[in-house]
């Protein structure tokens, strides 16, 4: 089995963290918590839990810097240590660890990026108001249209990458900090010609704690979406890009 680790950013997840780890333990994967000095002490709690869990690692960042920044640090840590498959998921059990085996199977079939998807057949959301459902779908559809991408759950954060694909997209140079990071990273993989597979899962609303979504993060999303479209992106060196992938690049 390839060496696998899942990067999980946390900010004020004290109530969810032990519940999440209890379920995650069954996957057999390693886990890297990236905590941004949560005021509720999630970081210290993670250190404590890691003492008797050799598969659990913890990184601490000094300030709340957003999801994208936390993932960049976590991915770099995992790449430096030679993990071959690197996953990402939320700590609130909205992304069920039980869906990981189906995502692994897709990677075994040769996918360089596996997208957990709420919006393909078999996927869905549980516990959301009508308004939340509309806002989420509208966000995903806008991103699809603006960037001309074919993946209906573009803003989702439940993914499994191969290390090669993360290197191919030069993930350390991504620019988004909030949730739009999810869109930026998947778009790079698409442009670079990575094989992308979507695997359905049902998103379950968190039991404890609060969402970190804010008007500021949504505003960053809208702004960066248009910047990504304007600026385009090319993989460094360009040699790994299969013929024809250039047509995906949007130039002003």
Ligand X SMILES: Nc1nc2c(ncn2[C@@H]2O[C@H](COP(=O)(O)OP(=O)(O)OP(=O)(O)O)[C@@H](O)[C@H]2O)c(=O)[nH]1
User: Taking CB under 5 A as the rule, does residue 153 contact Mg ion?
Assistant: no
User: Taking CB under 6 A as the rule, does residue 34 contact ligand X?
Assistant: yes
User: Taking CB under 5 A as the rule, does residue 92 contact Mg ion?
Assistant: yes
Q: In the beta sheet, which residues pair with residue 60?
A: 35
User: Taking CB under 6 A as the rule, does residue 233 contact ligand X?
Assistant: no
The phi and psi torsions of 226 (rounded to 5 degrees) equal -70, -35
Measured CA to CA, the distance from residue 234 to residue 250 in angstroms comes to 10
Residue 138: CB atoms within 10 A of its CB come to: 10
Among the listed residues 122, 120, 197, the one whose alpha carbon sits nearest the alpha carbon of residue 153: 120
User: Taking CB under 6 A as the rule, does residue 206 contact ligand X?
Assistant: yes
Collapsed DSSP state (helix, strand, coil) of residue 249: coil
User: Taking CB under 6 A as the rule, does residue 91 contact ligand X?
Assistant: yes
User: Taking CB under 6 A as the rule, does residue 221 contact ligand X?
Assistant: no
User: Taking CB under 5 A as the rule, does residue 90 contact Mg ion?
Assistant: yes
CB of 158 to ligand X, least distance (A): 10
CB of 232 to ligand X, least distance (A): 27
Residue number with CB closer to Mg ion (27 or 136) = 136
Residue number with CB closer to ligand X (184 or 233) = 184
What DSSP string describes 62-120? SS---HHHHHHHHHHHHHHTT-SEEEE--SSSSS-GGGHHHHHHHHHTT-SEEEEESSS
CB of 205 to Mg ion, least distance (A): 8
Among the listed residues 195, 7, 191, the one whose alpha carbon sits nearest the alpha carbon of residue 113: 195
Residue number with CB closer to ligand X (72 or 192) = 72
DSSP letter for 25, please: G
User: Taking CB under 6 A as the rule, does residue 9 contact ligand X?
Assistant: yes
CB of 36 to ligand X, least distance (A): 4
Give the helix ranges, DSSP H, for the chain.
16-24, 42-51, 67-80, 100-108, 130-147, 163-168, 180-191, 215-231
Residue number with CB closer to Mg ion (94 or 162) = 94
User: Taking CB under 6 A as the rule, does residue 212 contact ligand X?
Assistant: yes
The answer for residues whose C-beta is within 8 angstroms of residue 54's C-beta and 6 or more apart is none
Residue number with CB closer to Mg ion (90 or 198) = 90
Which segment (6-14, 48-56, 105-113, 159-167) binds ligand X by CB under 6 A? 6-14
Residue nearest to ligand X (CB): 211
User: Taking CB under 6 A as the rule, does residue 97 contact ligand X?
Assistant: no
**Chain positions contacting ligand X, by CB under 6 A:** 9-11, 13, 34-36, 64-67, 70, 90-92, 94, 206, 211-213
**Chain positions contacting Mg ion, by CB under 5 A:** 90, 92, 94
């Amino acid at each position: 089995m390839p060496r696998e680790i899942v990067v999980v950013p946390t900010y004020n997840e004290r109530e969810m963290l032990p519940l999440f780890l209890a379920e995650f333990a069954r996957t057999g994967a390693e886990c890297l918590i990236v905590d941004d000095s949560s005021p509720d002490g999630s970081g210290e709690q993670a250190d404590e839990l890691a003492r008797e869990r050799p598969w659990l690692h913890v990184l601490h960042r000094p300030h709340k810097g957003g999801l994208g920044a936390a993932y960049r640090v976590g991915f770099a840590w995992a790449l430096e240590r030679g993990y071959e498959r690197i996953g990402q998921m939320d700590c609130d059990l909205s992304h069920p660890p039980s869906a990981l085996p189906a995502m692994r199977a897709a990677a075994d079939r040769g996918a360089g990026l596996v997208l957990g998807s709420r919006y393909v057949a078999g996927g869905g959301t549980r516990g959301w108001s009508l308004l939340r459902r509309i806002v989420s779908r509208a966000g995903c559809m806008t991103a699809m249209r603006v960037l001309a991408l074919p993946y209906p759950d573009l803003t989702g954060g439940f993914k499994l990458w191969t290390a090669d694909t993360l290197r191919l997209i030069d993930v350390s140079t991504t620019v988004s900090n909030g949730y739009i990071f999810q869109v930026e990273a998947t778009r790079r993989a698409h442009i670079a010609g990575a094989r992308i597979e979507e695997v359905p899962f049902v998103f379950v609303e968190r039991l404890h704690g609060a969402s970190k979504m804010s008007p500021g993060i949504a505003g960053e999303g809208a702004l960066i979406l248009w910047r990504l479209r304007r600026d385009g992106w090319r993989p460094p060196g360009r040699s790994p890009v299969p013929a024809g992938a250039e047509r995906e690049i949007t130039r002003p």
